[in-house]
Amino acid sequence: MNPLIFAILGAVSFGLWTVFHKLASPYINQVFGAIIVSAAAVAAGLVILVPRLKQTELFTDFRGILFLILAGVLAFFIDFFALKAYSGGLPITTGGPIIIGGSIAVASVIGILLGDPVSLLKIIALVLLLSGASLLAYIG
């Protein structure tokens, strides 16, 4: 299957993640909410992994474990900061594009620093993305 399909599904998931954070934020403590999101992620992952456990190689190098632990810590903070922002009254039309757009910009810049190819079109897209997120933060 084309990996682009998985990227699109990830984008849809990220957008819905943002909506559910906004809807939950007035009703829950932000730290507890972030823990609930993490626990739900573990449960969903186990539902997918357990039936395939015998034919699945879990890891080949401890660097993978280290990077995923770091990603997990950051995932907690994504949940926590998103819930804090939305519980403070930030509209989803402002918070969603800033959180998602900002994450796109950060990932793209780091990807370039790690050696991904750079083109004029990529640079223009990043400038537009950062401009849009900045404008939303300013008018939000």
Q: Would you mind telling me the total number of residues written for the chain in this entry? A: 140
Instruction: Tally the domains of the chain.
Output: 2
Q: What is the pLDDT of residue 105?
A: 85
Dist. CA 74–CA 41, nearest whole Å: 14
Q: Is the pLDDT of residue 133 over 90?
A: no
Q: Is the model's pLDDT at 140 over the cut of 80?
A: no
> CA-to-CA distance for 86 and 50, rounded, in angstroms?
35
Tell me the backbone φ, ψ of residue 88, rounded to 5 degrees.
Answer: -80, 0
Q: Residue 103: CB partners within 8 Å, gap ≥ 6?
A: 14
> Each residue of 57-78: pLDDT tens digit?
888 899 999 999 999 999 999 9
Rounded average pLDDT over 131-138: 83
Report how far residue 85's alpha carbon sits from residue 95's, in angstroms, rounded to the nearest whole number: 7
Tell whether 133 and 65 lie within a shared domain: no
User: Is 75 in the same domain as 116?
Assistant: no
The predicted structure's pLDDT at residue 129: 84
Classify residue 86 by burial, with Cβ atoms within 10 Å: 0-12, 13-18, 19+.
Answer: buried
The reply to whether 8 and 40 lie within a common domain is yes
Which domain does 98 fall in, by range? Answer: 91-140
- The reply to whether 70 and 120 lie within a common domain is no
102 and 129 together in one domain: yes
SS3 118: coil
User: Are 79 and 59 in a shared domain?
Assistant: yes
More confident residue, 105 or 24: 24
- For residues 31 and 84, the answer to whether their CB atoms sit within 8 Å is no
